Amino acid sequence: MFTKKPPLGWNSWNTFGNDISEELLMQTADAMIEKGLKDAGYEYVVIDDCWSLLERDENGDIVTDPQKFPHGMKYLADYIHSKGLKFGMYSCAGVKTCAGYPSSYHNEFRDAKLFASIGIDFLKYDFCNVPAGSNGPLLYHTMSMALKESGRDILFSACNWGADHVETWIRSCGAGMYRSTGDINDNFASVRDIALSQVDKLAYSGIGCYNDIDMLIVGMYNRGNVRNGGCTDVDYKTHFSVWCMFGSPLMIGCDIRNVNDVSLDLLKNKDLLRINQDEECRTAFVCGDNGNKGLAFFRHLSDNEYALMFVNFADEEAEITLDPDKIGLWNGCGYGLSVRDVFSGDKFVIAGEHKEKLAGHDSKVFLCRTTAI
């Protein structure tokens, strides 16, 4: 499926891992509507690994686990579609998924037909247990072509964690989004490491094929499958802001049935989502640097707007400086930026060098326009 904006949705893995069920998925679809997440733009409900039995059936098909999904997968797909949402599932390019369930190596066309018969709209395709000597990129080409052959329009979400210089070939294989990092953990170091590892790769992401820097941990607070210390609300704010600024797909990873108001407001922040979903899908670039502590990023948006972000990746307070020269506003050009802080609403004009002093892990995001100074 060709998609003109980074996909938005929810995925079961970060919180639930193996502990998935029809009931959880149906309640999650309901919660996406009740909590206003669908209205905010989130539309995919995705089951990750661990949905099937451990063996294929006598015809060679993967079998949905009847204990986890007693009415079968089509029933769940129909329920999700009846809510106006889209349904995603998971397989893997190897002989087993990462959790050891049957996966699609040399069964690509068969499995794609099964997924199409269920009615999926999205397939996440992982990279565990690939036989030695296989050509990784070609395994993604094969599944992409199998999905196209399946008769259903399915968004292909590749997940090879950045292997084989994925950013250089993934667009050519027909994927709609691609994971370019290892797995996120619920702590700030993981957010920082992922963000810093992607700065040089952002220019590969664009309309139709987006660099997915992994599912969100917002609202997890050290509960669930990828818990590893947990985050503060400030950490989550910075995490979500970076993912929006970088134009990543946004796949919520917390239990949205029980999400708290702070996290829900963050996930629905209109200005951040406007930046993430900007129709021009332009690349954020570095426009200020404080050694390894913090960075400032700038991004051109549609409608002659811009986004400007300051992030302190360090644990202690740091000052990050915007050098206007680095965004093209040379000293003496007569123009600066009229900015609005997307969290506080504060408005002011930046005319020349601008410093932001931020507490450890904190960030600020501004929507801006040029203005005569």
Site stretch for ligand GAL (CB under 6 A), options 91-99, 136-144, 162-170, 188-196: 91-99
How far is 268 from 127, CA to CA, in rounded Å? 31
Which strand (E) or helix (H) includes residue 304? none
Q: Is 61 in the site for ligand GAL (CB under 6 A)?
A: no
Query: Cβ-closest residue to ligand GAL?
Result: 98
- Provide the minimum distance between the beta carbon of 184 and ligand GAL in the complex, in angstroms, as a whole number: 8
| Residue in 43, 49, 278, 356 binding ligand GAL, rule: CB under 6 A | 49
- 214 is an active site residue: no
What are the C-alpha distances in Å from 124 to residues 89, 212, 218, 291, 356? 6, 11, 21, 36, 39
Least Å distance between CB 185 and ligand GAL? Answer: 11
Q: Is residue 164 annotated as part of the catalytic site, yes or no?
A: no
Task: Tell which one of 147, 159, 220, 367 touches ligand GAL (CB under 6 A).
Answer: 159
Site size for ligand GAL, by CB under 6 A?
11
Neighbours of 96 (CB within 10 A): 15
**Could you say whether residue 126 binds ligand GAL (CB under 6 A)?**
yes
HSE toward the beta carbon, residue 77, CA cutoff 13 A:
16
Do residues 371 and 337 touch, judged by C-beta distance below 8 A? Answer: yes
Residue carrying the six token digits 């919180």: 15
Contact between 69 and ligand GAL (CB under 6 A)?
no
**Binding residue for ligand GAL (CB under 6 A) from 10, 13, 178, 240?**
13
Query: Three-state DSSP class for 285?
Result: strand
Contact segment (CB under 6 A) with ligand GAL among 92-100, 111-119, 283-291, 324-332 equals 92-100
Q: In the complex with ligand GAL, which residue's Cβ is closer, 20 or 147? A: 20
Q: Which stretch binds ligand GAL (CB under 6 A): 55-63, 95-103, 231-239, 282-290?
A: 95-103
Name the minimum Å distance from CB 216 to ligand GAL.
Answer: 12
Say if CB 253 and CB 217 are below 8 A apart. yes
Q: Measuring CA to CA, how many Å separate 349 from each of 15, 307, 353, 354, 370?
A: 42, 14, 11, 10, 9
Q: What are phi and psi of 296, to 5 degrees?
A: -115, 140
Chain residues 250-289 in contact with ligand GAL, contact rule CB under 6 A: none
Write out the catalytic residue numbers. 126, 183
